[in-house]
């Protein structure tokens, strides 16, 4: 499997985080976390990206996209963030 250099993965994570902040209308008090995770469980994609919205005084909300962070497009992130659990 081809490994993406850490600096490229970090740049992709920053890009996705900025898209998510804008699309979720996150305030300065909110935190948006983007994490790329490996999964070894049967039926799970080998790498997925989790986007979480952390708002003070609220339960964390998250969505998972079954692709590496470096492969995500803004349209894919937009579609995933339409999930009611993030609103």
Asked whether residue 79 is domain-assigned, the answer is yes
Asked whether residue 12 is domain-assigned, the answer is yes
* Sign of the Cα pseudo-torsion (82, 68, 32, 74, in order): negative
> Structural domain of residue 25, as residue ranges?
6-86
pLDDT in tens, 13-34: 999 999 999 999 999 999 999 9
| CATH code of the domain containing 26 | 3.30.160
pTM to 2 decimals? 0.84
pLDDT in tens, 32-86: 999 999 988 888 889 999 999 999 999 999 999 999 999 999 999 999 999 766 6
Going along 1-87, which residue ranges are E strands? 31-38, 47-54, 61-65
Asked whether residue 1 is domain-assigned, the answer is no
Residue entry with tokens 């890009």: 15
Q: How many domains does the chain have?
A: 1
* Sign of the Cα pseudo-torsion (17, 23, 26, 31, in order): negative
The residue count for the chain? 87
Task: Say if CB 13 and CB 77 are below 8 A apart.
Answer: no
């Amino acid at each position: 499997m081809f490994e993406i250099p850490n600096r490229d993965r970090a740049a992709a994570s920053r890009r996705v985080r900025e898209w998510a902040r804008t699309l979720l209308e996150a305030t300065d008090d909110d935190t948006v976390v983007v994490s790329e995770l490996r999964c070894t469980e049967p039926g799970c994609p080998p790498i997925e990206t989790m986007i979480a919205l952390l708002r003070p005084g609220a339960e964390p909300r998250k969505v998972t996209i079954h692709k590496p962070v470096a492969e995500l497009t803004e349209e894919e992130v937009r579609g995933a963030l339409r999930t009611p659990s993030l609103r």
